[in-house]
Amino acid sequence: MDKSSFRIVATIEARMTSSRLPGKVLMPAGGKPLLQILIERLKRVKELDKIIIATTTNIDDDPIALLGKELSVEIFRGSEEDVLGRVCGALRATDADICVEITGDCPLIDPQIVSEAITEYMRTKETNFYISNSDPHRSVPAGLDVQVFSAESLYRLESETIDPLDREHVSYGFYCPETDDRWKPRFITHSSCIGGEELIITLDYREDYELIKRLYEELSQKNPFFSAQDIIDWIKAHPEQHEKCKQVRALKNTT
pLDDT band at 215 (very low <50, low <70, confident <90, very high): very high
Is 34 a residue whose pLDDT tops 60? yes
d(CA 61, CA 3): 34
Quote the pLDDT of residue 177.
87
Q: Is the peptide bond before 136 cis (omega within 30 degrees of 0)?
A: yes
Average pLDDT in the 191-205 region? 96
Residue 28 phi/psi, 5-degree rounding, is -90, 150
Is 2 a residue whose pLDDT tops 80? no
Secondary structure (DSSP) of 75-109: EEEE-SS-HHHHHHHHHHHTT-SEEEEEETT-TT-
Quote the pLDDT of residue 1.
40
Quote the pLDDT of residue 161.
85
Percent of the chain whose predicted confidence (pLDDT) is above 90: 89
d(CA 194, CA 3): 28
Quote the pLDDT of residue 4.
59
pLDDT band at 253 (very low <50, low <70, confident <90, very high): confident
| pLDDT 10s digits, 157-181 | 999 987 888 888 899 999 988 888 8
The one-letter amino acid at 223: N
Quote the pLDDT of residue 179.
83
On the 0-12 / 13-18 / 19+ scale of CB atoms within 10 A, 208 is buried
Residue 74 phi/psi, 5-degree rounding, is -70, 155
Give the pTM. 0.94
d(CA 205, CA 183): 33
| pLDDT 10s digits, 219-230 | 999 999 999 999
d(CA 207, CA 209): 5
